[in-house]
Amino acid sequence: MKLSRIRKGVRNVTEGGWVDRIPIDALEGVAFRVRGARNPDAIKLRADLIAALDEEQRKALPADTVEAIATEVMARAVLLDWNLTDEADAPIPFTPEAALDLLTDPEIGETMREGVAYAAAVVAAQGRDALETDAKN
């Protein structure tokens, strides 16, 4: 296997890519630019957020804390951009803060998180598939 193909597979996970065919009805037409959920920035942020907890919390992480950490990592280290618009069709600029707001929105947050998680898995699989294809050749 050529080293260039390994590098390309790693770049897919670390630099990300656009995913637009998200199989969730409410997200029809939405595209997310994401990195794989296990990219180096996400791993570091997740570790930092857990390290910031007190010792008792780290021993037995409550489910709501786990969910909050996962959502913050998604907003700040996995999701990179989107094609979202407001009701007047004006683009909604991407920022990690805006992402966190949408990912935690009581009405649409769960759907948004599912869509971003799907997109991140697609990007990670594209990197893995490229490496597996080359390994067979």
What is the mean predicted confidence (pLDDT) over 109-134? 81
The SS3 of residue 121 is helix
For the stretch 43-97, pLDDT in tens is 999 999 999 999 988 888 889 999 999 999 999 999 999 999 999 999 999 999 9
Cα 52 from Cα 68, distance rounded (Å): 13
In single-letter form, the type of residue at position 136 comes to: K
Query: Is residue 131 scored above 60 in pLDDT?
Result: no
The SS3 of residue 21 is coil
Q: Distance of CA 127 to CAs 22, 23, 75, 92, Å?
A: 18, 20, 21, 29
The SS3 of residue 17 is strand
Q: Distance of CA 82 to CAs 90, 91, 131, Å?
A: 13, 9, 27
Q: What is the pLDDT of residue 24?
A: 97
Q: What is the pLDDT of residue 86?
A: 94
For the stretch 17-51, pLDDT in tens is 999 999 999 999 999 999 999 999 999 999 999 99
